[in-house]
Amino acid sequence: MALILDGIQIRDQILQEAKPRVAALKRPPGLAVVLVGEDPASEIYVRNKIKACHDLGIYSEKYAPPTSVTTAELLALIDQLNQQDTIDSILVQMPLPAHIDFSAVLQAIHPSKDSDGFHPFNMGQLVANGPGPRACTPAGVMEVLRRHQIPIEGKRAVVVGRSEIVGKPMALMLLQANATVTLCHSRTRALADECQRADILVAAIGKPAFITREHIRKGAVVIDVGINRVSDPVQAAAIFRNDEKAMANLKVRGSLVVGDANPLDMAELSSAYTPVPGGVGPLTIAMLMMNTIYLSERRQA
Ligand code: NDP
């Protein structure tokens, strides 16, 4: 029977360990969150981030410019936050409206206040194995593996998805932990064959239940980063093989949260896996808190 890698338990451990670090600082760490527009999912994420700050004693500020905000106005806000002493960490919630110059915004955040580690300087630090904040979601995956003592060194790791925020930094972090890493994407030929070689398979694709039994080697560890909503009953029935409980949940809730790997295939074939929800998701906020504390410690040293 596969081991379920419980992200909620690990999140709670990490947050517990963070408390003395916050208490040891002269002033509380400060996080500024910028949420542009009214995307309901982003509003929930931001609310959860601010609540996590509150629970840990981290000072937070929220800025919510309207969708009509210009890139120049956003850059001016970031500049103001870069200079504000009480703020150690700046997070701009993605996605941004299409008219905003996304990379100009990311590059405007001072690398010493880069809560997500997305600034090119910090991405470079990751490549060079230097110090700096690391992208939260892949850093959370590394915590899951480490805290469950899943061996990485010498293992074959396959990451599917090469985004700047998940896939690419994930591959680099696994490489630094001495895995032999293959990074796959939409142009990869014979994806299932590549995945079948994995001791550790990470799915970060953005397509519900895309990774199936043909991709999963028996006994592999599967990390499912995906968060997708499925509301079509036919699609849900196919993914959950008409499982009564899942179909009843769909009826009540109107949609189901599904990862990028088929949950039944993953449970059946893997030796250990992260469930969706309750796997990688809870760790992203915990790692944001850790980055904020780390940046604050550096600024207050
Ligand atoms: P992106 O859309 O930015 O990237 C998706 C990647 O998947 C791309 O590299 C793309 O390849 C690749 N891909 C798409 N289709 C295929 C295919 N048919 N075969 C192989 N590769 C494919 O997504 P993100 O990285 O932002 O997110 C990935 C998933 O993780 C999503 O489900 C998202 O919701 C979830 N997520 C979860 C978080 C959490 O806290 N748990 C945080 C962030 C994301 P190409 O580059 O060639 O286009």
- Please tell me the predicted confidence (pLDDT) of residue 13: 97
Confirm whether 6 is a catalytic residue.
no
Testing ligand 1's pocket by substitution, the residue of 44, 46, 165, 185 carrying the most ligand atoms inside 8 A of its CB is: 185
**Does any ligand 1 atom lie closer than 6 A to the CB of residue 260?**
yes
Atom of ligand 1 nearest to the CA of 228: 32
Supply the residue whose CA is at minimum distance from atom 42 of ligand 1: 137
Confidence (pTM): 0.97
CB-CB contact of 211 with 161 (8 Å)? no
Q: Is 260 tagged catalytic?
A: no
Q: Which atom of ligand 1 is nearest to the CA of 162?
A: 9
Sign of CA dihedral 130, 273, 91, 73: positive
Domain limits, the chain:
27-124, 136-281
Superfamily classification of domain 136-281: NAD(P)-binding Rossmann-like Domain (3.40.50.720)
Helices and strands (DSSP H and E) totals, the chain: 12, 11
Please report the pLDDT score of residue 252 as a whole number.
97
Give residue-wise pLDDT tens across range 91-121: 999 999 999 999 999 999 999 999 999 999 9
Tell me the CA end-to-end span of the chain in Å, nearest whole number: 47
pLDDT in tens, 177-225: 999 999 999 999 999 999 999 999 999 999 999 999 999 999 999 999 9
Among 106, 144, 186, the mutation site with the greatest number of ligand 1 atoms within 8 A of its Cβ is: 186
Average pLDDT in the 272-301 region?
97
Between CA 296 and CA 110, with CA 173 as vertex, the angle to 5 degrees is 35
| C-alpha–C-alpha distance, residues 270 and 3, integer Å | 8
Task: Give DSSP secondary structure letters for 123-143.
Answer: HHHHHTT-SS---HHHHHHHH
* Residue 93 is among the residues annotated as catalytic for this protein: yes
Beta bridge partners, 202, equal: 159, 223
Sequence-distant (6+) residues with CB within 8 A of 139 are 117, 169, 173, 287, 290, 291
In the chain, pLDDT over 70 holds for what percent of residues?
100
* pLDDT interval class at 83 (50, 70, 90): very high
Q: Which residues of 105-144 are buried (b: 16+ CB within 10 A; e: fewer)?
A: bbbbbbbbbbbbbbbeebbebbeeeeebbbbbbbbbbbbb
Among protein residues, the one with the nearest Cα to ligand 1's atom 39 is 281
Exactly one of 88, 114, 116, 224 is catalytic; name it. Answer: 116
Distance of CA 231 from the midpoint of ligand 1 (Å): 20
Phi, psi values for residue 252, rounded to 5°: -70, -45
**Identical fold at 27-124 and 136-281?**
yes
**CATH-assigned architecture of domain 27-124:** 3-Layer(aba) Sandwich (3.40)
Nearest to 181 by CA among 170, 166, 189: 170
- Measured between alpha carbons, how far is residue 191 from residues 59, 64, 154, 194, 247 in Å? 45, 41, 21, 5, 30
